[in-house]
Amino acid sequence: MTKADAAQHEVDERVRSAISHWGPRFTTNGVTVADFERVTRSLTRWQDWCAAWSVAADKHEALGRTALAEGRTRSAGEHLARAAVYFHFGKFLFVDDVPQMRKAHESAVRCLDDALPHLDPPGRRVEIPFEGRRLVGILRLPSTAAYGEGPSPVVVMIPGLDSAKEEFRSTEELFLDRGVATFSVDGPGQGEAEYDLPIRGDWSAPGAAIVDAVAALPEIDGERIGIWGVSLGGYYAPRVAAALGDRLKACVALAGPYNFGACWDALPPLTRKAFQVRSGAADDEAARRHALTLDLAGQAQHIAAPLLVVTGKLDRLIPWQDAARLADEVDGAQLILLEDGNHGCMNVWPEHRPYTADWVAARLRD
């Protein structure tokens, strides 16, 4: 095999890896099945990934802009929120071309910001000062029909390495339908903060800043706050719970690592490269060392909030044993281990997502 052939094979493998790892996640979180098949069928080179998804996103944004101009605001919100998801999935791991990635990301943010007033229920952007920069979250409140008058309980939703707040609409709906407000937020190394604030293992400071800001919102009951995280967010959420003690009334860790560095050799190249860039590491070895600082050892025993840990036995990124270890170390923790679940368990979402929303809602009502 020539060097050119080897390089082409590597690029093709990135596309295959992204499709095989993330298909159910895309379609569960807002990409239509037809669009997923159409876009991925046309791709053979990783360098075309972001552009292909951006072209698909442009079509949905155009539908949204037309609906806005015609006064069909509900449809406009749906179209623009979908466009935001497509732009997000164009940029989610596209760290080899940061300018192109950032352009798609800015489009995702623009589309979601414009969609927010027209969603049902609507949302609004909240900016939190942090270390001279800002963390940005989206607040959505349940309808009074679902919850009633008065301040709402809330679940803070933490993305992972390659997710961001633009991806969470379908998950938010589960909590909102059960009377729980949602606050989907980009932390250090994520979404709008990824260009200024690197990934960090200790989330006590950003976690406290986020929870303090949410608790201060007049629509929120500061005594009834839960936290939910997926993938690396499934590590961050327990770290925040360990730092904040009884300030949190529920914690969900979905597909999170116990020690991310211990998973390093089994991670796909796309994932390792994204972590390297978003942690500010100089190379793969430096990224591995930084990943080792994302560690729950000595932290798990400080978690006072009720803890639900969810994982799948077919997770190819994070061994299910990491979730079992976390659950074993926290008194009263509940472990949901899904035999056919992949990373994030999106391929078996009916087996955990509704239950998780019920579980959180029940603890925030107590």
- Give the CATH number, domain containing residue 49: 1.20.1440.110
Please give the pLDDT value at position 280.
97
177 and 271 belong to one structural domain: yes
- Quote the CA–CA distance of 52 and 37 in Å, as a whole number: 12
Active site residues per annotation: 231
Token duo for residue 84 = 């935001």
Of 87, 120, 153, which marks where a domain is finished? 120
Q: Are 335 and 327 a contacting pair, CB within 8 Å?
A: yes
- Quote the CA–CA distance of 79 and 29 in Å, as a whole number: 14
- DSSP lists the bridge partners of residue 336 as 310
Domain count, the chain: 2
247 and 359 belong to one structural domain: yes
Please give the pLDDT value at position 150.
77
Please give the pLDDT value at position 139.
98
- Quote the CA–CA distance of 195 and 208 in Å, as a whole number: 21
Please give the pLDDT value at position 146.
53
Separation of CA 149 from chain center = 29
pLDDT beneath 50: ranges in the chain: 1, 3-11
95 and 70 belong to one structural domain: yes
Structural domain containing residue 96:
1-120
69 and 150 belong to one structural domain: no
Token duo for residue 121 = 């229920």
248 and 333 belong to one structural domain: yes
72 and 176 belong to one structural domain: no
Please give the pLDDT value at position 16.
87
9 and 149 belong to one structural domain: no
Token duo for residue 36 = 């997923």
105 and 149 belong to one structural domain: no
Please give the pLDDT value at position 112.
98
Of 120, 152, 168, which marks where a domain is finished? 120
165 and 265 belong to one structural domain: yes
Token duo for residue 14 = 């990135």
Identify the burial level of 4 via C-beta atoms within 10 angstroms of its C-beta, where 0-12 means exposed, 13-18 middle and 19 or more buried.
exposed
Please give the pLDDT value at position 13.
86
**Quick one: which H or E segment has residue 347?**
none
- Quote the CA–CA distance of 61 and 79 in Å, as a whole number: 6
Q: Are 157 and 178 a contacting pair, CB within 8 Å?
A: no
In terms of phi and psi (left: phi > 0; alpha: psi -120 to 50; beta: otherwise), the region of 121 is beta
173 and 66 belong to one structural domain: no
